[in-house]
Structure 1
Amino acid sequence: MGAIALAAPARAAGPGDSPILKRIAARNAITIGHREASAPYSFIDRDQKVEGYSIDLCMKVVEAVKARLEMPSLELKYVPINTTNRIALVANGTIDLECGTTTNTLSRQEQVEFSPIFYITGTQVLVKTDNGAKEVEDLKGKRVAVLQGSSNEQSLRMLNDTEKLGIELVYAKDLGEGALLVASGRVDGFAADGGQIKVYAATKAQPKGALKVIGRLLTYDPYSAMMQRGDLEFALLVKRAFADAFRSAEAEKLYAKWFGPLGIEIEPELKTAFAIQALPQ
């Protein structure tokens, strides 16, 4: 006897018991938190429009909210955020959904809820294109720049000590200075967030093609969107929207839209993450 397919129950319109959806309906607006200069993830373009890969994915949630509340003219508001205030603005309800470059960690899950993972990065190394190194171990005895106090410094220092690589760590104040140290030959590499240094190498290296990123991910830093904790209905709506984007390959298309022009192809780890999170309805 063949299996009987059971139809999924229809989802009721309206906010239901969701505090976040009730808040959105009362405001007649959904508020998105965004970064101002984290291209191509979340940034303000030359026309003062909020754009980016993270933003486009979050728009899938916005459309789902409009459909759920039956409010097609729901206003969309944007609030700029940074690394120091983003969690607080989500936790206190100032923004409904944060769409930027936030790493999903267990400690942060004590404060906020996260969407499915939509980007995977980690510590990698920026070097000159003519550098023959393929992994950080190939820089044994060399000078490598890091951002002081960063997880990238911690991971490199641990590997350096464990493998007795004899790498001399040099502190850079920011991404631009770290890259400049490499370009000028004052250091042999710069260990930092792989996604960010790939974008830097593709868009700011002078001359074009002078820098490249090498090595496996020394850390695992998955990006997710943030929302308030404790609202299971809204969290499920967000998960559905992302799962739909993964299942339909729309997420891969958005990745190609934003990273393709930079010559950055989607990593196998991220494709696997999309497939695993493409849950059925």
Structure 2
Amino acid sequence: MRRKLIATVAAAALTLALAACSGDASPLPGSTAQPAPETSTSAPAADTSCNARASLRPSGALPEPGRMPAGSYMATIQKRGRLILGTSQDTLLFSSRNPFNGQVEGFDVDMGRQLAQAIFGDPNKLQIKVIGYDKRVSSVRDGDIDVVADTMTANCSRWKDVNFSTIYYEAGQKVLVSKDSSAKKIEDLGGKKVCSAAGSTSYLNIQAVSTKPIAVAKPAFGDCLVAFQQNEVDAISTDDTILAGMAAQDPYAKVVGEKFTEEPYGMALSQNYPEFTRFVNAVLEKNRANGTWTATYNKWLGSFGTAPKPPAAQYR
């Protein structure tokens, strides 16, 4: 009964969050994302043909806000009057909708605001578009948005379609189960239904586990949480940061095991404008050095403990 009650509350909260979407002028995550098949006999081999953490080196000093170089993509954004950020609305602490004011907020959103500050001198010149997890690459490639900051793992496969910034957060995949579960790691869930978001690396990682958990795809992680609370799936597996936000919403859930993957988060950017990637990396470099990154961590993730050192930049 307690699990069913929580599921009802969670479903209602999700409905309220989606109803508040009109201000984003973008499709809801569930309206376009198509779930992958619930089962698969194999997962694609990891592509390790590059150093996915290495990005384009900044070139010179950052221009003053409001004075972007002529002909650059930053000048295009400046002329438009806003930076368009693609992100989710259901990843608590990173990018989730505040139920009181309807705004999408979190660590990832602040990464976008810091770019807007660098371009305009105003962090509020930011337009947020909510996108599905499986639209993060295509939205950048097709020019619908300027940058994705959405708990997105930089990997070699994605580098073929988009550029990534230097790494701005280090995460790793774990598992969320009910508090009465005896599972202590992902391998203990062989034959059990484990949910993750369609189009995420987490979904592929579940498929690769030797004991063969049954990977279940949902359009977004909020849908996974509702499915878990309604007993449609036995567990959820994704980045530890995302799971921590879910556990905070469900007192009958727990996160178990050690990280079994490395998930370095980068911001996705178009390959057509390498100068913009270099600009973003210069902003990140400045914010690592001046304490902005640490302040952002403490603001959103301070409950996890003392802020670690920001991920060191690597360049190609």
Q: Same fold (TM over 0.5)?
A: yes
Task: For 1:26 and 1:59, locate their aligned partners in 2 and report how far apart those are by CA, in whole Å.
Answer: 17
TM-superposed CA distance for 1:239, in Å, is 0.7
TM-superposed CA distance for 1:34, in Å, is 3.0
Partner of 1:264: 304
Match of 1:175 among 205, 215, 224: 224
Question: Residue type of the partner of 1:91?
Answer: R
TM-score, normalised with respect to structure 1: 0.71
For 1:219, what is the secondary structure of its paired residue?
coil
Partner of 2:23: none
Partner of 1:80: 130
TM-superposed CA distance for 1:221, in Å, is 2.2
Partner of 1:48: 102
Partner of 1:202: 248
Task: For 1:51 and 1:73, locate their aligned partners in 2 and report how far apart those are by CA, in whole Å.
Answer: 13
**Quick one: structure 1 residues 152 and 22, their matched pair in 2 at CA, closer, same or farther if it must change by over 3 Å?**
closer
Within a 5 Å distance, the mapping from 1:1-281 to structure 2 comes to: 14-16=67-69, 19-45=72-98, 46-66=100-120, 75-129=125-179, 134-136=184-186, 139=188, 144-147=192-195, 151-152=201-202, 154-156=204-206, 158-161=208-211, 169=214, 171=216, 174-177=223-226, 179-180=228-229, 187=234, 190-203=236-249, 205=250, 208=251, 210-260=252-302, 263-265=303-305, 271=308, 274-277=310-313
The alignment covers a number of residue pairs equal to 248
Task: For 2:242 and 2:86, locate their aligned partners in 1 and report how far apart those are by CA, in whole Å.
Answer: 20
Task: For 1:123 and 1:275, locate their aligned partners in 2 and report how far apart those are by CA, in whole Å.
Answer: 17
Task: For 2:88 and 2:245, locate their aligned partners in 1 and report how far apart those are by CA, in whole Å.
Answer: 16
Q: Residues 88 and 133 of structure 2 are in contact (CA less than 8 Å); yes or no, is this contact kept in structure 1?
A: no
Task: For 2:104 and 2:159, locate their aligned partners in 1 and report how far apart those are by CA, in whole Å.
Answer: 26
TM-superposed CA distance for 1:143, in Å, is 5.9
Q: Residues 126 and 179 of structure 1 are in contact (CA less than 8 Å); yes or no, is this contact kept in structure 2?
A: no
Q: Residues 18 and 233 of structure 1 are in contact (CA less than 8 Å); yes or no, is this contact kept in structure 2?
A: no
**Quick one: structure 1 residues 238 and 259, their matched pair in 2 at CA, closer, same or farther if it must change by over 3 Å?**
same
Question: Residue type of the partner of 1:175?
Answer: C
TM-superposed CA distance for 1:116, in Å, is 2.1
**Quick one: structure 1 residues 19 and 85, their matched pair in 2 at CA, closer, same or farther if it must change by over 3 Å?**
farther
TM-superposed CA distance for 1:158, in Å, is 3.8
Report the aligned-residue RMSD.
Answer: 3.6
Question: Residue type of the partner of 1:52?
Answer: G
Question: Residue type of the partner of 1:50?
Answer: V
The C-alpha deviation readout for 1:74-103, integer Å capped at 9, x for no partner, is 943333322243333322333222232322
Q: Residues 185 and 257 of structure 2 are in contact (CA less than 8 Å); yes or no, is this contact kept in structure 1?
A: yes
**Quick one: structure 1 residues 33 and 103, their matched pair in 2 at CA, closer, same or farther if it must change by over 3 Å?**
same
**Quick one: structure 1 residues 130 and 57, their matched pair in 2 at CA, closer, same or farther if it must change by over 3 Å?**
same
Task: For 1:10 and 1:180, locate their aligned partners in 2 and report how far apart those are by CA, in whole Å.
Answer: 50
**Quick one: structure 1 residues 151 and 48, their matched pair in 2 at CA, closer, same or farther if it must change by over 3 Å?**
closer
Partner of 1:164: none
Which stretch shifts more, 231-240 or 149-158? 149-158
**Quick one: structure 1 residues 193 and 145, their matched pair in 2 at CA, closer, same or farther if it must change by over 3 Å?**
farther
Question: Residue type of the partner of 2:283?
Answer: A
Q: Residues 61 and 237 of structure 1 are in contact (CA less than 8 Å); yes or no, is this contact kept in structure 2?
A: no
TM-superposed CA distance for 1:238, in Å, is 0.7
Q: Residues 103 and 221 of structure 1 are in contact (CA less than 8 Å); yes or no, is this contact kept in structure 2?
A: yes
The C-alpha deviation readout for 1:49-83, integer Å capped at 9, x for no partner, is 2311111122221111125xxxx699433333222
Q: Residues 78 and 120 of structure 2 are in contact (CA less than 8 Å); yes or no, is this contact kept in structure 1?
A: no
**Quick one: structure 1 residues 129 and 18, their matched pair in 2 at CA, closer, same or farther if it must change by over 3 Å?**
farther
Question: Residue type of the partner of 2:80?
Answer: R
TM-superposed CA distance for 1:134, in Å, is 4.6
